[in-house]
Structure 1
Amino acid sequence: MAPKNMYSILLPTYNEKENLPIIIWLIIKYLTESGYEFEVIVIDDASPDGTLDVAKQLQKIYGSDKIVLRPRSGKLGLGTAYIHGIQHAKGNFVIIMDADLSHHPKFIPEFIRKQKENDLDVVSGTRYTGSGGVYGWDVKRKLISRGANYLAQILLRPGASDLTGSFRLYKKDVLERLIKSCVSKGYVFQMEMIVRTRQFGYSLGEVPITFVDRVYGESKLGGTEVISYAMGLLYLFATT
């Protein structure tokens, strides 16, 4: 039987061989220092750059109880990566974050503390309140992000200040239900997760985070993502 509170950290990866050793070292450092039971589940989507080989080396260093490898046969998308990860998660809490160092693991203990304070169902990182912020983006990207978020606030009234972030802590059963109810893909998926949280009446808290644009590799945001975001926003407005 799993310990009373255990945290399963899902790390979907695609071409992250430079970032993976650093992010895993940081996760292990901050969670070990805080004394929490945890595991890191690496869900690699057949990265051609050898990310999985790096993950295997890390597993040898830190142990298979801490680093769990659950690779997939191809690039199958974020939502399905979470579903795949949850199936193997031993924890009763699941943390989702990016593997590209844009999310700093030092915030994870703050997420956990926030969750414990009020027994929250979901804790989401926010770039838009308190000490939260973004580093490494040009003015255009900041404006697109702010604008997209502002528009979503007006249309959806989600009860959260940051809808498109992907650094969150969920109770495992809550995450399972939310994912089953979501129909969106890609960039809009994270937004729908927050909208459904409100729709189902789950409790939600936020922790200010600093988001740092990726150091290695290529950003996955392009023009098609902006269009699909707008379409997804209108869909959610019409259906929730």
Structure 2
Amino acid sequence: MKEENVDEKAFEAGKGSKISILLPTYNERENLPIIVWLIVKYMTESDNAFEIIVIDDGSPDGTLDVAKELQKIYGEEKIVLRPREKKLGLGTAYIHGMKSATGDFILIMDADLSHHPKFIPQFIAKQRENDYDVVSGTRYMGDGGVYGWDFKRKLVSRGANFLTQLLLRPGASDLTGSFRLYKKPVLEKLVQSCVSKGYVFQMEMVIRARQFNYSIGEVPISFVDRVYGESKLGGSEIFQFVKALLYLFATT
């Protein structure tokens, strides 16, 4: 039975709800104007109030300067800047961004155009269907898929997902993606409970959601490899993933 918590009362992402969109960035000066324009377009069409919180981790390419220009264009209520001096990990970026979030829901997505904002209205509709605590984008159900990856990258992703499904049975089909909609108090609790950083963090979020009996809905998405810049996934991230997988298997 789901734990009772006054702060986690049921509410739906219908009209009248506000959605805070967290955009952690590092060297995304080319992508940021495009992703912001697309978010504004689809959020305006969805008829939900929203804000975009940009958490830049000291990008040397001038991403923050671009964000400041976007703030001038769209206004300080729509574009909220919460920069940090250096890269400190995804988990701490979410905590940093959540401190400024004023929405009932928080949507997390990548700023590199791999997550298309056209799916956001589907996330909102899915949440409304069954008052889900979490709605996660999935590349591995329905017409979801991955585009622009070579065979090795696809093999790593599929292999990581398969191993996690086998060992942890998380109740969700895509564990390493980061395109998700959360009820704000649910995300706060999940982030506080997670111990992982970087690439592994997204997987642990789903495992902890299962541990707390939170409900998870899924929306098939098309994941497109980043248009500009370089991928941040390397050998060290894969090693950390396997290490964290074994830790979660032993402790959850």
Measured against the shorter chain, the TM-score band is over 0.9
Q: Which amino acid aligns with 1:235?
A: Y
Q: Which amino acid aligns with 1:176?
A: E
| Structure 2 counterpart of 1:43 | 55
Q: Which amino acid aligns with 2:115?
A: H
List runs of 5+ in structure 2 lacking aligned partners. Answer: 1-14
Instruction: Provide the C-alpha distance between the structure 2 equivalents of 1:223 and 1:44, rounded to a whole number of angstroms.
Output: 24
Instruction: Provide the C-alpha distance between the structure 2 equivalents of 1:56 and 1:238, rounded to a whole number of angstroms.
Output: 45
| Structure 1 counterpart of 2:209 | 197
Instruction: Provide the C-alpha distance between the structure 2 equivalents of 1:129 and 1:6, rounded to a whole number of angstroms.
Output: 28
Matched, 1:97 2:109: yes
- Please give the residue correspondences for 1:32-71 in structure 2 after superposition, counting only pairs within 5 Å: 32-71=44-83
Runs of 4+ aligned structure 1 residues displaced above 2 Å come to: none
| Structure 2 counterpart of 1:111 | 123
| Structure 1 counterpart of 2:149 | 137
Deviation at residue 77 of structure 1 after TM alignment: 1.0
Deviation at residue 73 of structure 1 after TM alignment: 1.4
Instruction: Provide the C-alpha distance between the structure 1 equivalents of 2:137 and 2:154, rounded to a whole number of angstroms.
Output: 17
Comparing 14-23 and 30-39, the one that deviates more: 30-39
SS at match of 1:64: coil
| Structure 1 counterpart of 2:251 | 239
Deviation at residue 4 of structure 1 after TM alignment: 4.5
SS at match of 1:174: helix
SS at match of 2:50: strand
Matched, 1:209 2:239: no
SS at match of 1:88: coil
Select the residue among 156, 160, 163 that pairs with 1:151.
163
Q: TM-score with structure 1 length normalisation?
A: 0.98
Deviation at residue 14 of structure 1 after TM alignment: 0.5
Instruction: Provide the C-alpha distance between the structure 2 equivalents of 1:142 and 1:73, rounded to a whole number of angstroms.
Output: 33
SS at match of 2:214: coil
Instruction: Provide the C-alpha distance between the structure 2 equivalents of 1:143 and 1:48, rounded to a whole number of angstroms.
Output: 32
Identity %: 77
Deviation at residue 186 of structure 1 after TM alignment: 1.0
Instruction: Provide the C-alpha distance between the structure 2 equivalents of 1:39 and 1:211, rounded to a whole number of angstroms.
Output: 23
Q: Deviations over 1:63-112 (max 9, x none)?
A: 11110111111111110000000000000100000000000000011000
Q: TM-score with structure 2 length normalisation?
A: 0.93
SS at match of 1:22: helix
List runs of 5+ in structure 1 lacking aligned partners. Answer: none
Select the residue among 80, 83, 86 that pairs with 2:95.
83
Q: Which amino acid aligns with 1:126?
A: T
| Structure 2 counterpart of 1:14 | 26
SS at match of 1:195: helix
